[in-house]
Structure 1
Amino acid sequence: MKNPIKYLWMGVGFLAMGLGAVGVVLPILPTVPFLLLAMFCFAKSSEKLHRWFMNTKLYKNHLATYVKKEGMTVKTKLGIIIPVTILMAIGFALMGRVPIGRIILAVVWAAHLIYFIFIVRTISEKHEVE
């Protein structure tokens, strides 16, 4: 084995890419964070793998415009906001006896909404696939 760390990065990248792909059809899993992790891991493992990932339809449809700092479509934003809100609501409900946990979750949730609604630019669907 030349460099076992590269294979570790590659394995984590494929795992993250798989979870991101599942997140496209299963709304409970957030797609974009997993795809960002996959992109990072592939960049650490090999330039060839990184270039391949950046040419996949998965990357182009869900990350390309965000990485270029152009923005995200409403569909992509909702695909992030809705599952995170559901998961945080479950956590909030389960923390009935942990008020500080509820406060932290509420602050993180509010910051999440502010970031995706007001900071990340919203672009049209046709712009995404170019």
Structure 2
Amino acid sequence: MKAIFIILGFLFTIIGVIGVILPILPTTPFLLIASFCFMKGSDKLNNWFKSTKLYKNNLESFDKNRSMTFKTKAVILGFATIMLLIPFITVPVLPMRIFIIVLIILKYYFFIFKIKTVKPEKKRKTVLVEE
């Protein structure tokens, strides 16, 4: 079972990296899943993943203090809403449509009220001073 989590971790990491390059594909949700898979699959790979720049740039603030930037929230919400609207439009079953609407409402509630919004950290340049 651990091998499956490790394979899924790498798969979702690759998809997350593609999301960094392609603006249409969100990075954060896939990296969250990758982090979960590495955590379940291997302590060594979990520590490696958490030391990568990819993790630090996209997930570290969420992992440490359950917060995200507004941009990250907007990208995740936008992508997830589009993905949920596709079956909402294409499936003419009323109970399914009601379920999707409830799911969208819960998702927005969670992201707006349960995850703190923080300002993006400015990248600081380190200046070496010789004495």
- TM-score interval w.r.t. the shorter chain? 0.7 to 0.9
Q: Do the aligned residues in 2 keep the contact of 1:61 with 1:128 (CA within 8 Å)?
A: no
TM-score (ref. length: structure 1): 0.83
Residue of 90, 100, 113 corresponding to 2:108: 113
Amino acid at match of 1:86: I
Superposed, 1:1-130 pairs within 5 Å as 5-95=1-91, 97-126=92-121
> CA 1:92 to 1:66, structure 2 compared with 1: closer, same or farther past 3 Å?
same
With 101-110 and 60-69 compared, the bigger mean Cα shift is at: 60-69
Q: Deviations over 1:63-82 (max 9, x none)?
A: 11111124000111011011
With 59-68 and 21-30 compared, the bigger mean Cα shift is at: 21-30
Amino acid at match of 1:79: V
Point out 4+ residue stretches in structure 1 off by more than 6 angstroms.
none
Amino acid at match of 1:121: K
Identity %: 43
Amino acid at match of 1:15: L
Structure with greater contact order relative to length (CA < 8 Å, sep ≥ 6): 1
Q: Deviations over 1:28-49 (max 9, x none)?
A: 5443332122112222332221
Q: Do the aligned residues in 2 keep the contact of 1:70 with 1:121 (CA within 8 Å)?
A: yes
- CA–CA distance in 1 between the matches of 2:54 and 2:46? 13
TM-score (ref. length: structure 2): 0.82
> CA 1:69 to 1:63, structure 2 compared with 1: closer, same or farther past 3 Å?
same
Q: Structure 2: give runs of 5+ residues left out of the alignment.
A: 125-131
With 55-64 and 101-110 compared, the bigger mean Cα shift is at: 55-64
> CA 1:62 to 1:7, structure 2 compared with 1: closer, same or farther past 3 Å?
same
Q: Which has the larger radius of gyration?
A: 2
Cα distance, 1:88 vs structure 2: 1.3
> CA 1:128 to 1:119, structure 2 compared with 1: closer, same or farther past 3 Å?
farther
Q: Structure 1: give runs of 5+ residues left out of the alignment.
A: none
> CA 1:54 to 1:128, structure 2 compared with 1: closer, same or farther past 3 Å?
farther
